[in-house]
Amino acid sequence: MVGAAAQSWTCFLHALLLSVVSCAETRESPCPKPEDLEMPVLWCYLRHPASNIRCEWRPQKKLPLSSQATLVVQKGFESSPVTKSCSYVSSAQKFNCRLEHREGDGEKYIVSLCVTSRTDRKISNVTVTDGNRLLQPDPPMNVTVTPMERAPRRLTVSWRYPSSWSRSYYTLRFQIQYRAENSRELSMGLTLSTSYLIEDAWMGRKHLVLVRAQEEYQHGSWSAWSSEARGTPWAEPYLPESRPTQASSEYDPDLYENSLSHEEYSPSTAADGEVPSQPLVSSSVPRYPLFIAGFCLGLGLCLFMGMAARHRGRWWRRIVAGGKFKSLFLPHTEGGRTEPLSSETLLMTPCPSPTGDKTSMYAAATGGHVSTGPNP
């Protein structure tokens, strides 16, 4: 019984000790565990075909002060690997490594990055590459967008070569990307020059322009995009309306007409230098009443001609129906003298008799006078 009780107390004390230790581990300990290193991600590039290869790594979290980085390089598949020390740039918070490279060298490089601390060590993935594949220029510099005068749909984009690229032998080609502000429609362009003309810009809209570079014969990859540049096409300047002053020598018909509407010019008073005691009657006639009067006159004339055309056939039939058409135009004798028939008499001629009496019809037409001349 005593042994069993002692064993129970031992188990209880052991469990209590484990719980205390576990609670202590959850709190901040004066002796922390060694910090694990971050897996490095290596990135290598070549800014110019005649420059050296650079490799770098940007840690995502803070590293121990004792951390170091070493570049492991093997040139070709038959050579032995060598190490190159890397430096830490505190301003950029990255490790920077330099690898010697000869211009035009197409040899393969097998590279990796080894990072060590006092308690841990990590190595990056192994990369197999060459100078042509690593070539990546820096972005173009000083990109500007300028409007063209009197061209509301054109913009001129200009830039400079990156400072890290020498133009002594190698040249670059450039890609332009632009769009109007608040628009998702992108437009692209390619050129070997350091300027580009945009000919399909939106009138009155601000445009956003980016430029990037690549080796002329497409060796390597494109550079990163340049800083964004903005510009708006040329627009017609607004000029407020201005009326000519009295000192203007140009003839203004409105001004001349307004001056005549107040006072009529008199040569006699102008010659004598006298000013009339009261304003003279204006001789100018307003243009709008004249226009209305002319319009009404033309409308009346058109109505009259229409009515005449409508009744012309009726009058013609009335005249011809009596069979004495020629006699209407013959002169008749009244009081010993011959007089032609007037147009009023012809218009007032009554309708022919239903009996068909030609003599009575002619007598009515001539006012009761019958011509003694020979019949036609």
The pLDDT, as a whole number, for residue 3 is 54
* 294/97: higher pLDDT: 97
Band of the pLDDT at 239, cuts 50, 70, 90?
low
How high does pLDDT run on average in the chain?
74
Mean pLDDT, rounded, for 182-188: 94
The pLDDT, as a whole number, for residue 339 is 52
Contact 40, 58 (CB under 8 A): no
The pLDDT, as a whole number, for residue 240 is 66
Mean pLDDT, rounded, for 228-232: 97
Residue 355: pLDDT over 60 = no
The pLDDT, as a whole number, for residue 374 is 47
Mean pLDDT, rounded, for 192-207: 96
Band of the pLDDT at 373, cuts 50, 70, 90?
very low
The pLDDT, as a whole number, for residue 103 is 87
Token couple for 217: 């014969």
CB-count burial class (<10 Å; 0-12, 13-18, 19+) for 98: middle
The pLDDT, as a whole number, for residue 154 is 96
Band of the pLDDT at 325, cuts 50, 70, 90?
very low
Q: What pLDDT digit, counting tens, does each position of 4-54 carry? A: 555 555 544 444 444 544 444 444 445 555 587 889 999 999 999 999 999
* Domains assigned to the chain: 43-134 (2.60.40.10), 141-231 (2.60.40.10), 258-267+282-311 (no CATH), 322-376 (no CATH)
* 288/375: higher pLDDT: 288
* 85/367: higher pLDDT: 85
**pTM (two decimals):** 0.54
Q: What pLDDT digit, counting tens, does each position of 137-146 carry? A: 999 999 999 9
Residue 150: pLDDT over 50 = yes
Band of the pLDDT at 152, cuts 50, 70, 90?
very high
The pLDDT, as a whole number, for residue 322 is 53
The pLDDT, as a whole number, for residue 96 is 94
Residue 202: pLDDT over 50 = yes
